[in-house]
Structure 1
Amino acid sequence: MSDVGPVLVVTIKDDPTADMVIVELHDRGVPVVRLDSGDFPHSLSIAATITSDGVEGSITTPSRTADLAKVRSLYYRRPSGFAYPHLNEQDARFAVTQARYGLGGVMASLPGCLYVNHPNRIGDAEFKPSGLAAAAKAGFRFPPTLVTSEPDAARAFIKRHGPVIYKPLSAPLYRIDGVSCTVKVSEVTADEIDDAVAATAHLLQKRIDKRADVRVTVIGDQVFPVRIDCDLLDWRTDYSKLTYSVVTPPPQIAESLHAYLAHFGLVFGAFDFAVDRQGRWWFLECNPSGQWYWLEPETGLPMLTAMADLLERKTG
C-alpha cells in the first residue's frame, strides 16, 4: 500500500472529536476524506471492483475522491444510517439493505487498511453481555449482573445483591417534545419490578459503593487513565459537576485492557471503571466508539497526538 494514501473518517457531520483529528492530520500534511454513510447515494458514490488483490476502485464525496486500494486507515466513528424517505416502505427496506451490504461491505474490506475500529468488530463489542464475558476472560473485576425478561428473576436478583441499578442494554434516542433524550442509569428496587419487565430484556447490576469513576482511553499501545470525581450515579448526566485528574492504574489493569481489546480485534476503546472505597477497580463497560477528546484540555494528556499518530500509521 502506498504511504501517501488518505485517511477515511466516517462519521456524522456534527462530530467535534473528528473535527479535531482532521485538523491535526491536515496540519501534518496527511490527506483526509471525510464522509457519512448516511449521505449515500445522494452525495456519496462508490465504484468498487473485487479482484484477486482485494478491493479496487473509488469512493467519492462532493469534494474528495479516495482510491480504495490506497486508504491507509479508516477512523469509524458514528455515521448516520441509510435513509430513503422518497421510497415506499418495501422499496426503502430493500434499498437500505443493499446499501448496508454494498457500501458497508466495501468499507469493511479495504486492503492494507488500519481500522480504528473495524465496523464489524465495533458491532461485536457493543453487546454489553459480550463485553462483560470478555471482561471476565481478560481478568477484570466486574459487578454481579443479570440480563432478564423475567420479573421474578429480577426481584430475586435485587433482593440478593441490592442496591441494584438498571442500565439500558443499548441507548437509542427518545424524542420528547422535539428534544433528544436518553434512558438514564438509575437505581431500582424490588417493589418497582412489575410484569412490564417481561416485555423485553433488561440489564440489572449490583451498585458499587464507589468513591470515584475512571475513564481509561486506549489508543493503539497508549493508555490514558483519568479519574473523574463527582457525587453522581452516572457522571455523564452533568459534566459541569466533574473534576478530573490523571491516575496510574493498578498493575493488572493495563494487561487486561489490551487483552480485552485483542479479544474483539480493536485498537481503540473507552473503558469505564468504578473505584470502590477500598480502591478496587470494577469494570463497567468499554465503548469501542467512545468520546475522548474533551479529556485532553482537562488533563493535558496527548490523546490527539496519539490518535493522529495511529491513523497516520506513524511509528518510531
Structure 2
Amino acid sequence: MTVLLVGNYFGHEFDALATAVRERGTEAVTVDTDEWPSERPLTLDPGAGSLTVDGTTLSVDDVTGVFVRHNGLFVPAIRDYTDGVVSEDDNPYAALTQLREYRGLFRSLLRTVDAAGGTVFPGLDGLRWQETSVAACCRLGEAGLPVPPSLATSDTAAARAFLERHERVVCKPVAEFGGVKALTAADADVLEGLTTPVFLQALVPGDDVRCYVLDGEFLGAFEYVSDVEGFSFKTGDEHPDAVPADLSAAAVADVREAVAVSPMRYAAVDLRVDGGDHTVLEVNAGGRFALADRSGVTDVTDALADALVSDAG
C-alpha cells in the first residue's frame, strides 16, 4: 500500500507527513511537481493501471491515498516563466501548452486513483474551487456565512468606486493563485486602465487566524503574529509567528460550515477575527500547516496521516 504526496515540495510538510505515514506501516512516495516540465520521465499507463516516476513503477490499485497541495500544481513554473527564468526567445504558447499538458496528466492521475477507490485529499474538485474564487465567495455568502464586501471586475471605474468605499482593499487574482496586494486610496493608480479582471475584497478589521478542518472535525486554529504594523498575512511577505487562537463557538461552527460548503474533506479556513466578530476570507484546498504544527498549536500532520492510512486500510 502506498500514499502519494503530490505538489510543489516544501520539505518540512511533505517530509513530516511522509514520516508519519511510514510510522503507520504504509509506504509514502513524494512526487514534486516542480520537477516538471523537464526531461525526467513521467508515465501514466491506463492499460496497465500504473504510474511510473523516474523509472519506479507503482500500480494505481496500490495507491490507496493521495495528499495534494493543489495551489502548487505548476503555478511556480508559470511564475518562473513570467519572471523571466524562461528565455524570452522561447515560444510562450508552447511553454504554456507544456504546462497545461503536465497539469492535465497529474489531474488524470488523481481521477484515476479516485476511480480505483483511493482517497484524494483535500478533495478531487478542490482545485476547481480554488480556480473560481469569486464563485467560492458567492457560495460562502449564500450559505449565510460572514464574508467581506467583494467585487470582481475589469471596469476601472467600478474598481475605483469600490476602493473609495473601503479604507483598505485586498486585490487578488480572480482565478488560480498569485500575488495579493493591499490597496488604499493612495494606490488608486494601480487600477487605472484595467484590461484583466481583478478580485477586490475589503480588508476588514481584525486579526489573521487560520483554522483546519478534516472530515468535519475542527483541528484547531492559530493567529498570525507579526511586529510589522498593520500586517496581514494576505498582503505581506513577512514571516509571522503562530500563537493559539481562542475562537468563539459561533466562529468554530462557521469554519466547519465553510468547509462543508466546499468540495473539500480537508481544508484550511482563513478568518479575520475582531473581538467577538469574525469574517470568513477563504477556504483553501490543501492549506499549509507546518507553521502551526511546528509551533505546537495544532497536529494536522498526524490527523492527515491517520486519515490517509485509515482509508488505505
Q: TM-score, normalised by structure 2?
A: 0.79
Q: 1:22 corresponds to which letter in structure 2?
A: A
Q: Counterpart of 2:230 in structure 1: which amino acid?
A: L
Counterpart Cα distance in 2 of 1:300 and 1:18: 18
Q: Contact conserved, 2:223 with 2:243, CA < 8 A, in 1?
A: yes
Judged with a 3 Å threshold, the aligned counterparts in structure 2 of structure 1 residues 95 and 272 are, in CA distance, closer, same or farther, namely closer
Partner of 2:162: 157
How far apart, CA to CA, are the structure 2 residues paired with 1:283 and 1:27? 36
1:259-312 deviation line (CA, Å, top 9, x unaligned): 333333211111111112x42011111221321121123234222110111211
1:131 matched to which residue of 2? 136
Check whether the contact 2:51–2:57 (CA below 8 A) recurs between aligned residues. Answer: yes
SS of alignment partner, residue 313 of structure 1:
helix
CA contact (8 A) 1:226 1:244 kept: yes
User: C-alpha offsets along residues 125-166 of structure 1, whole Å, 9 cap, x if unaligned?
Assistant: 34321221121133321121122222221232233x320313
Query: Structure 2 regions of 5+ residues with no counterpart?
Result: 79-85
Q: Residues 196 and 15 of structure 1: is their aligned pair in 2 closer, same or farther, counting only changes over 3 Å?
A: farther
The 5 Å alignment of 1:87-98 reads 89=91, 96-98=99-101
Alignment of 1:187-266 (within 5 A): 187-189=183-185, 192-193=188-189, 196-210=192-206, 212-223=207-218, 224-230=220-226, 231-235=229-233, 237-240=237-240, 242-251=241-250, 253-266=251-264
Partner SS state of residue 282, structure 1: strand
User: 1:103, 1:297 → 2: CA distance?
Assistant: 30
Q: Does 1:304 align with 2:298?
A: no
| Structure of higher CA gyration radius | 1
Match of 1:65 among 57, 63, 68: 57
1:207 positional shift: 2.8
Task: Go from structure 1 to structure 2 and tell me whether the alpha carbon gap of 1:169 and 1:249 turns closer, same or farther (over 3 Å shift).
Answer: farther
Aligned to 1:178: none
Counterpart among 59, 77, 80 of residue 74 in structure 2 = 80
What's the C-alpha RMSD, in Å, of the aligned pairs? 3.4
Asked if 1 retains the 8 angstrom alpha-carbon contact of 2:41 and 2:55, the reply is no
Aligned residue-pair number: 294
Distance 2:106 2:145 in 1: 37
Q: Show the counterpart of 2:82.
A: none
1:168 maps to 172
